[in-house]
Amino acid sequence: MADPHPHVYFRDRLVPAHEATLGVATSAVLYGLSVYTVFPVHVDDGVRSAFRLRDHYRRLVESCRIIGIDRFADEWSFDRFVAVAGELVAANAPTSDVFVRATVHVDESIPGTRVRGCGTVVSMFVYDAVPIVPQDGMRLGTSTWRRIPDYAIPSRAKVNGAYVNSVLAKQGAIDAGYDDAVFLDGAGHVCELSAANIFVVRGGTLITPDVSCDILDGINRRTVLTLAAEEGIRVEERTVDLTELYIADEVFATGTSAGVAPVVEVDGRTVGEGVPGPVCEVLRKRHAAALRSDDGRGWVSYL
Ligand code: PMP
């Protein structure tokens, strides 16, 4: 991730980035007890448009509820969230696209691992929108690390501590010469990448693991499912076998920081023709357009 831009929102105000620090004895630091989201802001000639901000806010509220961080929803309305995001982005005045990472940290040094009733602090910072995976055809390797099951750390909650699992998979993939990892669940079914959802195209049908497959309920996953339906593409959300990736016509990934990213190789096997496929290309263009203009859907908020 790129460095934060100079102004960071922390403890109810904008501060220089180096002043936005948490204590070493807080639960956020000790246990990774924070929840977060990252949303994109498209910058075009001074116009700043955030994508699906309400959905990002809602997922943050839901992450808090699942984990038991009980104060955030009371203290942070959607209007407050938007106002702070707007103030932060305006203060940094980015000249090109950025990502904004909003985090709710458990900011209390408590004996034992508890969460209910603990104090929280919200941070928000802006950084350059650099994709985390190649955009012209990436190579994936199946991870030997399995995706944390929902019954251990809930997949719907975007919890900082759970990302150790992603780091293990991503580092393993890089060490083995791949761009990213395919996470399987305990039964060997496909879940997602280290920080992106996965889609497969077979015989014209777009297939993706359903939300009960230990995946993050990705906002761009939902976006692509909507856009695919609008394009008249048949969609299936279901269990996906690893071997389906090997015989797919196309594979691609979605995410805020991944975009809609084509996959050209999985475990040394060429996907389709070994180049980005037509379904991915159509959805990639539709997704890029949706990030920039609203089309009456309410997906874009101007900051
Ligand atoms: N899965 C994981 C594990 C992720 O970290 C991300 C990135 N947030 C995604 C999927 C994609 O989610 P979104 O489309 O909401 O960015």
pLDDT of residue 111: 65
Residue ranges in the chain modelled with pLDDT below 70: 111
Report the atom number in ligand 1 closest to the C-alpha of 197: 10
pLDDT of residue 177: 98
- Decide if 102 is inside a domain: yes
Residue 220: what are its φ and ψ, rounded to 5°?
-80, -25
- Other C-beta atoms closer than 10 Å to the C-beta of 199 total 26
- Other C-beta atoms closer than 10 Å to the C-beta of 137 total 18
Residues 53 and 190 both lie in one domain? no
Domain's final residue, options 67, 102, 128: 128
- Decide if 300 is inside a domain: no
Q: What are the structure tokens assigned to 277, written together?
A: 């496929």
Pairing of β 250-255 and β 259-266: antiparallel
Residues 101 and 175 both lie in one domain? no
**Residue 118, domain extent:** 7-128
Does the ipTM exceed 0.95? yes
Question: At 244, which CATH number?
Answer: 3.20.10.10
Residues 83 and 183 both lie in one domain? no
- Decide if 30 is inside a domain: yes
Residues 120 and 195 both lie in one domain? no
Residues 223 and 267 both lie in one domain? yes
Residues 162 and 276 both lie in one domain? yes
What's the total number of domains in the chain?
2
Domain's final residue, options 79, 100, 128: 128
Residue closest via CA to ligand 1's atom 7 equals 195
Please give the full DSSP string across 233-293, using - where no structure is assigned: -EEEES--BHHHHHT-SEEEEEETTTEEEEEEEETTEEPTTSS--HHHHHHHHHHHHHHH-
Residues 26 and 112 both lie in one domain? yes
Residue closest via CA to ligand 1's atom 10 equals 196
102/35 Cα distance (integer angstroms): 9
- Decide if 161 is inside a domain: yes
Report the atom number in ligand 1 closest to the C-alpha of 56: 15
- Decide if 99 is inside a domain: yes
Residue 133: what are its φ and ψ, rounded to 5°?
-135, 155
Residues 84 and 170 both lie in one domain? no
Among 54, 193, 256, 260, name the best residue to mutate to test ligand 1's pocket (greatest count of ligand atoms within 8 A of Cβ). 256
pLDDT of residue 161: 97
- Decide if 247 is inside a domain: yes
Q: Is 197 in the pocket of ligand 1 (CB under 6 A)?
A: yes
Question: At 61, which CATH number?
Answer: 3.30.470.10
Residues 83 and 38 both lie in one domain? yes
Domain's final residue, options 97, 128, 159: 128
pLDDT of residue 70: 87
Burial class (CB in 10 A: 0-12, 13-18, 19+), 33: buried
- Decide if 298 is inside a domain: no
Residues 233 and 91 both lie in one domain? no
Q: Is 255 in the pocket of ligand 1 (CB under 6 A)?
A: yes
Residues 88 and 146 both lie in one domain? no
Residues 148 and 285 both lie in one domain? yes
- Decide if 91 is inside a domain: yes
